[in-house]
Amino acid sequence: MRFSLYLNDYETEKLFSTLRWLFVVIATLIFYVPPFSDNITTNKAVFPYLLVSAVIYMIVTQFALVRARDDKGSLQLILKAGIMFDFLALIWLMFLSEGIHSPLYPISILFVMHATIYWRTKGAFISLAAFSLAYLLMGIVTVNLTDFQHYFTLSFNLFFLWIIGLFGALIMLRERAHYVQKEAYHHLAHRDYLSGLFNQLSFQEKFKGKVDANESFTFFLGDIDDFKKVNDEYGHLTGDDVIRKVGEVFRNLTETYKGQAFRYGGEEFVILLPHMDDGVIHQFLKELYSRLETLAPISISMSFGQAGTTEDDDPEKLFALADQRLYVAKKAGKGRTCLANDELYIP
C-alpha cells in the first residue's frame, strides 16, 4: 500500500472526516467518562443535541464523499459545508466545556488548516478572524474578562493561534503548491496530450504491475484502419480530431467496464479490461464498434488483437500474442477483432 503525505482534495477530506469521528469520541469522554467528566465543567443537558447532530452530519458526509469522488462540483460543496460545520461544532463544544478555558481549544488550529487547504491565504485569515471573534464573544458571555486569569488565557491563546495558524498556513500552502506541481508533472509524463488517454509509459507500468500482482485481465491492441488515408484526404487537423474523439470513445466505454484505455503511439491504442467471459467481451466489442461508426466528422474502422492472462503470464509474450492477432485481423479484411481463441469478431 502506497503511503504519501501528498493528498488530493478527496483524500484530504476523507482524513478530516475520520478526524471528526475521533473528536466525537474525545468530546464524549470529556462530558461523560471519569476522571475527565469529574474535573472539567460541562453542560451535559445540551451536549446530546450537538452529539446527535454531529453523528447525523458525519454519516451523511461519509455517503456523500463516496458518491462525490469523481464529481468535483459536489465535492467542493461538501468541502465548504465541512469547514462551516467544523467551525460551528467547535465553538459549540467549547462553549459547553469551560468556554475559553476548554481543553478542546487546540482543535482550532486544525480548523484553520482545513480552511487554508481549500481557500488558501484568504481561508487562513478569514478562519483566524472568525474564530478569534467567536472566541472573544465566548469570553465576554461566559467569564469576567477583567480577571487576570481570564484575559490572560484569552490573549495568550489568540496570540499563539495566530502565530501557529499563519506559520502552519504557510507550510500548508507550500505543500499544496508542491502537490499541484507533482500532479502536473505526473500528468505530462503519463497522459497523451492529444487523445487525453494514458500513454505508452503508463501502459507499460500498469501492464507489468498487473502481471506481477497475478491479476487476471484481458486486453486489446488495435489501430485505426487506413489512418494515413484520413490524413491525406481530410488533412492532419481532421486526423488529430479523429484521435481525440477515438480517445473519448475509449475513455467513456472502458470506464463503464472498469478498465483503462491507452494511446500506444500514432494511431495505435490499447484497451485493458478485467477478465471477462466471452459474452461480455462480445457485448463490449459491439458497443465499441457501434460508437466508432458514428464518429463525426467521419466514421472509422479499427482492427484489434486480443490476449489475456489465461494464456500466459509473461508480459512480452502476451503483448506479442495480441500483436500477432492484430495482424491476423488486418489481413482478414480489417474492421474486425481476432480474439484470444483465434475467432474473428466481425461487427
Catalytic residues: 267
**Residue 254 and residue 270: Cα distance in Å, rounded?**
11
**Residue 274 and residue 179: Cα distance in Å, rounded?**
31
In the chain, DSSP assigns E strands to: 217-224, 260-265, 268-274, 302-308, 337-338, 344-345
CB-CB contact of 308 with 219 (8 Å): yes
Q: Which three cell numbers stand for residue 255?
A: 470506464
Q: Helix or strand or coil: residue 222?
A: strand
Q: Helix or strand or coil: residue 308?
A: strand
Q: Which three cell numbers stand for residue 296?
A: 463525426
DSSP one-letter string for 112-171 = HHHHHHHHHHHHHHHHHHHHHHHHHHHHHHHS-TTSHHHHHHHHHHHHHHHHHHHHHHHH
Of 153, 33, 23, residue with least CA distance to 98? 153
Of 81, 168, 166, 175, residue with least CA distance to 129? 166
Strand 217-224 with 302-308, pairing: antiparallel
- In degrees and rounded to multiples of 5, residue 262 shows phi and psi of -135, 145
Name the region of 97 (left: φ>0; alpha: ψ -120 to 50; beta: rest): beta
The dihedral built from the CA positions of residue 325, 327, 331 and 336, taken in this order, carries a sign that is: positive
